[in-house]
């Protein structure tokens, strides 16, 4: 298709990073104004384009088409055709998604941080601009969801209420939030953010918000008068709480790959493989379907697939869903070779990008022991740039204090510092590492589990970890370490003297089974990454890429494989001095004396391939809200995550592939906290990519996050959770702003509510539903009622005016609107835009030091 053949609308599409939305109106794409983003009419279909800038990489482009429950088949068909054309117009690089109302993907919901509002009706009357001065509104919204919020317009009546959810009564100049007695803190906070979003975008910041706690309505008499004026007297009993529909995906390891191709004009779908999948199964000449059963159906289009196959990809996915009798709401993703989504890559055991450069540390794996070459660390650099600490998995340069305990008779016994670093497979150990950050002591508590330790010892190790954790008031970051799978920082704290004995125990006086011959494999190039691991004393254990120590009754051999480096030889010599006092005899591969092979039981073949420097696999970090309340492990993924997505009532799981972090909010319930470790292990076990079940799991309590965790988040604010919690803080601020509710109540009682209709943001003018409020009719037949007299509205900007961020961001001083102070641009932002751009609210921002404020402003383009 030539450029001139595309719809005229496409010529106005911006290639800059950001969100663009269109609705289908009379079979044409009509642009939706920014102020209406997040509002969706149930009778319509929408196309949502999101473009993201990636550091050091090409843009990521995602195209979603959203289907309203009441939309027509013609509109749905038109939206699908436009999406296919848009994909072609943008060079075939976008990932396409099909979204169904009420079943939207977490990624789609992530674009609307304050929530999604479902509106009744459609756009048959035509679209109009958003009038931020229009207050002729009366509606009741039912708010649901804790992580991803949706609000649906319902009948303006007490009959719509229940005890478990939150409702917003919007009268134009006043928004009343009624919190069901059984709603939780997180749900209340999300509803407040939604109410603020409505106020800022639809009313230009000139509306009041009041909160009523359903469990204690007597605290808000004026607001309750307003509600009863509009809704009538409240019934003695409301309906019970309605359980949330379970749209969150349950991780399943039931993943299948199908080859989709044409044969004699017929479409053939042939199963190719089941999990774990490998990248080499995907052929550029064809299209494939990945069925992540119970979650989504993904279509992969090879670069050399026929044009017909590529254009029909979405239709084939829908046909496949129908053939499998999957629900119509099943998620669909369509992507081209080279433009795969992060979720798609996570379903494969390994994934490398063409032309991918190596990471900060090169890794290669031979057998089951990985080698990691690390750079030298500047501890101040790590603390100043937590993103570097996160990538390197190092909180510091490992120069802190170390205390080691061994589990003996289920109790803790401190280990002599002279033998620090010597770990026995029959034991369990606790290692407490203490370091300073900003002159404050920080702690990491490692729990090392020997492969041959008893279940009682492993349980005692976990129990004693809780005791040590309590001694330090819950401050330590807890890390489970399985023998042979030690994380980078753990190796570094033993300064090149970390040694694993396969069996036995380090307990004083214990009689370990002595063997006349022992073989150790040594890997590492410096004291930050070296370890020696005991392996079976036979020739097949050797590897040409490494150094080995062979101890016999008479001599200790230092065997240098042909592929080892000089640095590795030096570190092996250091390790051998710790293990054996006797003289060492250097043996070069290929020049072994006969006694060397005799000690190993005879010469045999071993790994001698040339070392391959395997590129470090790139996996995007993923954040999940965890829950096992249904008896099965469930998770809700948080896309485009930020610090604000860490809910204080939850346990969150951050998967960085090499490590798993469990973040425990201070209000997380006891059962979630207790089951957190079990949930993380279940996550690894059930991962469709066949993850290593012994991947290190790191447990973190809110307020004690190390830089290896915070570095995965942009603009981490250490003061975010200081003082009162977010919901109570917002509620108190709003209470200060609504000190004249009595005036509003009187105006409503005397004059009523209404007008000539209300304007939904971004949509047509429509008449209010023909409902009756207590004492008067507000149906479309009612005469226009005089506007209520309301005092001037509070704003946080002295001028009383908020500006569109586009007028302030990345603008020279000369380009700013008249009267704007270039050094105080943030003061002209609405609360919602302020938090969106700067990642924190105004109050917390003011508490930050000036340099930190300026840093955030620079990143936001406000400096």
Q: pLDDT tens for residues 267-277?
A: 677 888 887 78
Give residue 369's pLDDT band: very low, low, confident or very high (50, 70, 90): very low
Structural domain contains residue 725: no
Is the CA virtual torsion 790, 795, 798, 802 positive or negative?
A: negative
The answer for residues whose C-beta is within 8 angstroms of residue 828's C-beta and 6 or more apart is: 797, 799, 801, 802, 803, 808, 820
pLDDT at residue number 381: 54
CA distance 796 to 807: 18
What would the pLDDT profile of 55-105 be if each residue is shown by its tens digit?
556 678 899 989 998 888 888 888 888 888 888 888 878 888 899 998 888
Could you count the other beta carbons within 10 Å of the beta carbon of residue 152? 18
- The total of other beta-carbon atoms located within 10 Å of residue 732's CB is 11
> What phi and psi, each to the nearest 5 degrees, are found at residue 542?
-70, 160
> Worst-scoring range by mean pLDDT, 153-167, 243-257, 436-450, 685-699?
243-257
Per residue in 804-843, pLDDT tens? 888 888 888 888 887 788 888 888 888 778 887 888 888 7
The single residue listed with the structure tokens 């641009």 is 825
d(CA 408, CA 506): 10
pLDDT of 354 over the 60 cut: no
Of the candidates 678, 693, 711, which is a domain's last residue?
711
What digits encode the pLDDT tens for the residues 502-511? 888 888 877 6
Q: Could you read off the pLDDT of 229-241 as tens digits, one per residue?
A: 899 899 989 988 7
Confidence of residue 429 (pLDDT cuts 50, 70, 90): very high
> Per-residue pLDDT for 408 more than 70?
yes
Regarding whether 201 and 167 lie in a shared domain, the answer is: yes
Q: Are residues 607 and 519 in the same domain?
A: yes
Do residues 120 and 21 both lie within one domain? yes
Are 121 and 143 contained in the same domain? no
% of residues, the chain, pLDDT over 70:
78
- Asked whether residue 692 carries a pLDDT value surpassing 60, the answer given is yes
* CATH (domain of 817): 1.10.950.10
pLDDT above 90 coverage of the chain, percent: 19
User: What's the confidence (pLDDT) of residue 402?
Assistant: 95
How confident is residue 663, by pLDDT bands cut at 50, 70 and 90?
Answer: very high
Tokens of 715: 């603009």
In a domain, 394, yes or no: no
**pLDDT score of 433:** 95
pLDDT of residue 737: 53
444: which strand partners? 433, 477
CATH of the domain at 565: 3.40.20.10
Average pLDDT of the chain?
A: 78
Tokens of 355: 């032309």
pTM of the full structure: 0.58
Of 657, 680, 711, the last residue of a domain is 711
- Between these two residues, 804 and 453, which has the higher pLDDT value? 453
User: How deeply is 574 buried, as exposed, middle or buried, from its count of CB atoms within 10 A (0-12, 13-18, 19+)?
Assistant: middle
**Are residues 266 and 221 located together in one domain of the fold?**
no
Give CA angle at 401 (395, 405), nearest 5°: 105
Instruction: Indicate the number of domains in the chain.
Output: 6
Residue 788: inside a domain:
no
As a whole number, mean pLDDT of residues 206-211 equals: 87
Cα separations (Å) of 494 from 406, 419, 571, 631, 785? Answer: 16, 10, 13, 41, 79
Q: What average pLDDT does the segment 386-397 reach?
A: 73
Q: Based on the domain organization, do 278 and 327 belong to the same domain? A: yes
Q: 184-193, 259-268, 337-346 — which is least confidently predicted?
A: 259-268
How many other CB atoms are there within 10 angstroms of residue 127's CB atom? Answer: 16
In a domain, 645, yes or no: yes
Per-residue pLDDT at 64: 93
Domain ends where: 67, 93, 125? 125
Confidence of residue 212 (pLDDT cuts 50, 70, 90): very high
Q: How confident is the model at residue 787 (pLDDT cuts 50, 70, 90)?
A: very low
Distance CA 186, CA 728 (A): 11
Residue 285: pLDDT above 90?
no
Structural domain of 854: 805-860
Q: Over range 644-649, report the average pLDDT.
A: 81
Between 161 and 397, the more confident residue is: 161
Tell whether 462 is covered by a domain. Answer: no
In a domain, 732, yes or no: no
pLDDT above 90: residue 115? no
653 and 702 together in one domain:
yes
CA distance 625 to 247: 13
Do 85 and 157 share a domain, yes or no?
no
Q: Is the same domain home to 642 and 689? A: yes
Q: What is the pLDDT of residue 424?
A: 94
Most confident of 36-50, 99-113, 778-792: 36-50
Assess whether 597 and 520 both reside in one domain.
yes
Reported as a single tens digit per residue, the pLDDT across 700-730 is: 999 888 888 888 886 677 777 776 556 666 6
Does one domain contain both 66 and 150? no
- Confidence category of residue 676, pLDDT binned at 50, 70, 90: confident
Report if residue 451 sits inside a domain: no
pLDDT of residue 671 exceeding 90, the answer is no
Any idea what DSSP says for residue 418?
Answer: G
Of 71, 69, 49, the closest CA to residue 61 belongs to 49
pLDDT greater than 60 at residue 326 = yes
Res 154 pLDDT > 80: yes
In this prediction, residue 446 carries a pLDDT of 94
Q: In the predicted model, what is the mean pLDDT of residues 193-202?
A: 84
Across 294-303, average pLDDT: 82
Q: Average the pLDDT over 640-666 and give the result.
A: 85
Q: Is 562 a domain residue?
A: yes
Model confidence band, residue 131 (pLDDT cutoffs 50, 70, 90): very low
Rounded-to-integer distance, Cα 333 and Cα 300, Å: 9
- Of 580, 683, 673, give the one whose Cα is nearest residue 636: 683
| Band of residue 764 on the pLDDT scale cut at 50, 70, 90 | very low
Q: How far is Cα 380 from Cα 400, in angstroms, rounded to an integer?
A: 14
Q: 185-202 and 831-838 helices cross at what angle (nearest 10)?
A: 110
Residues 113 and 41 occupy one common structural domain: yes
Confidence (pLDDT) at 784: 32
């Amino acid at each position: 298709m030539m450029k001139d053949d595309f719809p005229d609308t496409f010529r106005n599409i911006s290639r800059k990073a950001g969100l663009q939305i269109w609705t289908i109106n009379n079979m044409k794409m009509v642009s939706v104004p920014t102020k209406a983003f997040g509002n969706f009419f149930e009778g319509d279909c929408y196309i949502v384009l999101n473009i993201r800038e990636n550091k050091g990489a090409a843009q990521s482009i995602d195209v979603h088409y959203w289907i309203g429950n009441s939309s027509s088949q013609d509109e749905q068909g038109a939206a699908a055709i436009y999406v296919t054309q848009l994909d072609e117009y943008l060079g075939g690089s976008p990932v396409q998604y099909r979204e169904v109302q009420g079943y939207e993907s977490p990624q789609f919901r992530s674009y609307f941080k304050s929530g999604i509002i479902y509106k009744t009706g459609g756009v048959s009357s035509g679209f109009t601009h958003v009038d931020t001065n229009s207050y002729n509104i009366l509606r009741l919204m039912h708010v649901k969801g804790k992580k991803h919020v949706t609000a649906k317009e319902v009948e303006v009546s007490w009959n719509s209420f229940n005890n478990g959810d939150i409702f917003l009564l919007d009268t134009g100049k006043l928004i009343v939030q009624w919190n069901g007695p059984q709603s939780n803190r997180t749900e209340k906070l999300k509803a407040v953010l939604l109410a603020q979003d409505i106020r800022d975008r639809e009313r230009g910041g000139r509306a009041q918000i009041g909160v009523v706690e359903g469990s204690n309505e007597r605290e808000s008499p004026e607001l309750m008068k307003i509600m009863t004026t509009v809704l009538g007297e409240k019934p003695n009993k409301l309906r019970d709480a309605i359980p949330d529909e379970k749209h969150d995906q349950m991780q399943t390891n039931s993943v299948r790959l199908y080859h989709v191709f044409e044969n004699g004009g017929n479409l053939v779908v042939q199963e190719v493989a089941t999990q774990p999948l490998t990248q080499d199964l995907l052929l550029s000449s064809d299209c494939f379907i990945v069925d992540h059963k119970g979650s989504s159906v993904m279509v992969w289009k090879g670069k050399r697939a026929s044009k017909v196959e590529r254009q029909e990809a979405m239709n084939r996915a829908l046909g496949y869903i129908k053939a499998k009798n999957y629900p119509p709401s099943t998620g669909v993703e369509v992507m081209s070779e080279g433009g795969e989504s992060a979720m798609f890559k996570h379903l494969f055991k390994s994934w490398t990008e063409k032309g991918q450069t190596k990471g900060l540390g090169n890794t290669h794996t031979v057998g089951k022991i990985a080698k990691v070459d690390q750079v030298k660390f500047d501890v101040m650099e790590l603390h100043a740039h937590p993103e570097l600490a996160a990538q390197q998995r190092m909180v510091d340069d490992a120069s802190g204090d170390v205390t080691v305990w061994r589990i003996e008779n289920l109790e803790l016994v401190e280990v002599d510092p002279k033998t620090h670093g010597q770990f026995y497979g029959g034991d369990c150990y606790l290692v407490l590492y203490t370091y300073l950050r900003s002159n404050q002591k920080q702690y990491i508590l490692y729990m090392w589990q020997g492969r041959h330790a008893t279940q009682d010892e492993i349980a005692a190790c976990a129990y004693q970890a809780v005791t040590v954790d309590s001694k330090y008031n819950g401050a330590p970051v807890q890390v489970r370490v399985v023998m042979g799978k030690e994380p980078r920082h753990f190796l570094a704290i033993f300064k090149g003297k970390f040694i694993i004995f396969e069996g036995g125990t380090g307990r004083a006086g214990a009689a370990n089974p002595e063997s006349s011959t022992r073989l150790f494999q040594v890997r590492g190039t410096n004291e930050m990454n070296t370890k020696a691991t005991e392996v079976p004393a036979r020739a097949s254990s050797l590897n040409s890429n490494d150094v080995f120590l062979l101890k016999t009754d008479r001599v200790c051999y230092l065997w240098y494989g042909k592929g080892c480096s000089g640095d590795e030889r030096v570190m092996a010599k250091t390790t051998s001095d710790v293990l054996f006092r006797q003289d060492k005899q250097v043996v070069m591969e290929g020049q072994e004396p006969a006694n060397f092979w005799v000690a190993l039981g005879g010469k045999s073949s071993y790994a001698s391939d040339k070392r391959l420097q395997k590129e470090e696999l790139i996996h995007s970090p993923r954040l999940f809200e965890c829950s096992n309340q249904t008896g099965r492990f469930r998770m809700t993924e948080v896309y485009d995550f930020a610090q604000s997505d860490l809910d204080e009532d939850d346990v969150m799981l951050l998967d960085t592939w090499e490590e798993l972090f469990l973040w425990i909010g201070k209000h997380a319930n006891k059962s979630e906290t207790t089951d957190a470790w079990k949930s993380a292990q279940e996550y690894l076990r059930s991962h469709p990519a066949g993850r290593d079940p012994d991947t290190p799991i790191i447990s973190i309590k809110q307020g004690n996050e190390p830089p290896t965790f915070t570095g995965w988040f942009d603009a981490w604010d250490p003061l975010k959770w200081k003082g009162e919690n977010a919901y109570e803080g917002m509620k108190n601020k709003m209470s200060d702003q609504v000190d004249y509710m009595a005036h509003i109540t009187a105006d409503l009682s005397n004059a009523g509510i209404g007008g000539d209709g209300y304007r939904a943001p971004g949509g047509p003018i429509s008449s209010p539903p023909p409902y009756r409020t207590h004492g008067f009719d507000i149906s479309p037949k009612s005469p226009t009622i005089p506007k209520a007299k309301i005092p001037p509205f509070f704003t946080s900007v002295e001028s009383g005016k908020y500006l569109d961020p586009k007028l302030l961001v990345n603008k020279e001083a000369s380009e700013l609107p008249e009267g704007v102070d270039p050094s105080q641009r943030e003061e002209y932002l609405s609360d919602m835009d302020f938090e969106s751009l700067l990642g924190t609210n105004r109050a917390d921002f003011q508490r930050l030091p000036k340099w930190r404020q300026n840093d955030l402003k620079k990143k936001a383009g406000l400096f």
